[in-house]
Amino acid sequence: MSDESKIKIELPKEHEFRFDVPQNSTISLKQQLVEGTAEYFGTELALGVAYQFDNEKGAIFTWYPGCVLELVGNCKHYISSETMMKEYLNIHNILQQNRTTALNEKKRGPRVMMVGPTDAGKSTLSRILCNWAARRGSQTIFVDVDVGQGSITIPGMVAAQEMTQPTPIGRVEYTASNPLSYFYGAVTPSENIPLYKNQVENLARDIDARCDDNEGAVRSSGLIVNTCGWVEGPGYQLILHAIDTFKCDILLVIGHPQVYEDLNRTYGSRGVNVIQLPRSSGVSKRDQGYRRKARTEKIKHYFHGLSEDLTPHTVTLDFKDVVILKVTPSTQKGTRLMEITPSGEVTHCILGVTYHATSMENVLSNNLAGFLYVSEVNVEKQKITFSSPSPGPFPSSYLLMNSLRWLK
Ligand code: ATP
């Protein structure tokens, strides 16, 4: 089949059309709905619109007979009846009932957490539930504490975003406007567990404040929290910490009976609804290389836009105009920040720009304004050059650094 061959697919009721557009290829797949109705991870496809998928694995699903898709492009694909969508819909219906009750009783809405190993389908289920809720007019807060594949700002951060609209199709990323994002700066929580926990707590504090400020849809719509796939040993302890910190009352445990048993034993008696779900057969395994490439792509999209048609600003500053604070491996007392003089070590780093930071003490507990990429350090001239989505000036001179780098 040539790249541009066009085929029609009749998708039976309650079936998924699964596809895998490979990484490291120039193939992109265009799909459109020519008859009937269909959705992509909870977002409805519009009739006659061509959606482009690059480097993406996914599934188009229909609830009704009469769905016809047209495909242009070449990739692995197949139709499956083994879908979890009905189970997911049952959960969504419970959440909608809880949201209505919460609105009427002026209480906080359901706080749901996904738990499971890597490649269990946690991000996908989060996305489906957020999209269905948005289609019903809810304003769920999507919380992503998966620093490895975080989708709200860039990987390496813990972040949250109000979901007022379903996610656009053909983009894995959430198009976050005004996200809450806290600096962690590494792609695995094991690198600095105290800092990771601190940042989860900072995020939860600001989410609670946001919910309590709003008596309407935001407070009653609740949270959907996506977590890392590290569910063993210290990773399990981090899951417990996140459940308690976000005050979750529904746990969806995907593809790990032992973790389900453990969580149910601990939380079942405390009024938390712990639900076990099998892993969908459509979820793909992604190796380390795939994950690394996916992270690089997300950082690229931050600086160059989703269509990669934007050019970031180049900003050169004197060393004296910036304070680079490096997160050092934590002691039991918590994380230490060390001011460093720019050198080759900083080149290629991604730095977090803080809002309103007046002193070193509170920089880590502040929401981030954005990110800079260090493209050059000139020690002789005492100049540092950044790529930045904004031309500056930046809201504060404090720039946070950890191990996160962008090696293009
Ligand atoms: P991790 O914790 O490792 O980041 P995860 O548990 O969040 O992984 P997902 O990202 O949801 O897993 O799913 C893994 C991959 O499988 C994704 O590329 C996703 O798009 C794909 N996928 C999920 N469900 C399906 C499906 N039903 N059909 C085809 N692909 C799917």
- Total Cβ atoms within 10 A of residue 17: 23
Q: Provide the β-strand partners of residue 398.
A: 323
Residue bearing the CA closest to ligand 1, atom 22: 283
274 φ, ψ (degrees, to nearest 5): -105, 115
Note whether ipTM > 0.90 here: yes
Q: Select from 82, 75, 85 the least CA-distant residue to 23.
A: 75
The alpha carbon of 375 and the centre of ligand 1 are apart by a number of angstroms equal to: 33
Nearest CA to ligand 1 atom 28: 282
- Three-state DSSP at 139 gives coil
Does the beta carbon of 280 sit less than 6 angstroms from any atom of ligand 1?
yes
- The pairing of strands 223-226 and 111-115 is parallel
Tokens of 318: 């004197």
List of the chain residues with pLDDT < 70: 1-4, 24-28, 171-176, 330-334, 357-358
Q: How far apart are CA 375 and CA 305, in angstroms?
A: 18
Using a 6 Å cutoff on CB, does residue 235 contact ligand 1? no
DSSP code of residue 284 = P
The residue nearest atom 31 of ligand 1, judged by CA position, is: 283
What is the atom index within ligand 1 of the atom nearest the CA of 84? 27
The H-or-E segment that residue 111 falls in is strand 111-115
- The pLDDT, as a whole number, for residue 346 is 95
Distance 285 CA to ligand 1 centre (A): 8
Question: What pLDDT is recorded for position 176?
Answer: 59
Ligand 1 pocket test target in 283, 285, 293 with most atoms within 8 Å of CB? 283
The answer to the question of whether 119 is labelled as a binding residue is: yes
Atom of ligand 1 nearest to the CA of 83: 27
Q: Return all residues near 169 (Cβ < 8 A) that are at least 6 apart.
A: 40, 43, 45, 51
The pLDDT value recorded for residue 32 is 84
Interior/surface letters 346-368, b for 16+ CB within 10 angstroms, e for the rest = bebbbbbbbeebeeeeebbbbbb
Instruction: Please work out whether the CB of residue 126 comes within 6 Å of at least one atom of ligand 1.
Output: no
Residue nearest to atom 13 of ligand 1 (CA): 121
Spatial CB neighbours of 343, under 8 Å, sequence gap ≥ 6: 377, 379
Cβ–ligand 1 contact at 58 (below 6 Å): yes
CATH number at 6-80: 2.60.120.1030
C-alpha angle 289-293-299 in degrees, rounded to nearest 5:
150
- 100 labeled binding residue: no
CA nearest ligand 1 atom 18, residue? 57
Give me the residue spans of the domains in the chain: 6-80, 85-277, 313-401
Q: Does 57 sit in the ligand 1 pocket, CB within 6 Å?
A: yes
Do the domains spanning 6-80 and 313-401 agree at the CATH topology level? Answer: no
Instruction: Measure the CA–CA gap between 143 and 223, rounded to whole angstroms.
Output: 7
DSSP-H helix ranges across 246-305: 257-267, 288-304
Q: Which residues, 6+ apart, have CB-to-CB distance to 353 below 8 Å?
A: 368, 369, 370, 371, 372, 394, 395, 396, 398, 399, 400
Does 123 count as an annotated binding residue? yes
Q: Looking at residue 151, what is its pLDDT?
A: 82
Q: Which CATH superfamily is domain 313-401 in?
A: Pre-mRNA cleavage complex subunit Clp1, C-terminal domain (2.40.30.330)
pLDDT attached to residue 323: 94
- The CATH number corresponding to 85-277 among 1.10.10.10, 3.40.50.620, 3.20.20.140, 3.40.50.300 equals 3.40.50.300
Distance of CA 87 to the CA centre of its chain: 23
**Residue 282 CB less than 6 A away from ligand 1:** yes
Q: Which residues of 49-82 are buried (b: 16+ CB within 10 A; e: fewer)?
A: eebbbbbbbbbbbbeeeebebbbbbbbebeeeee
181 lines ligand 1 (CB under 6 A): no
Q: Is 120 annotated as a binding residue?
A: yes
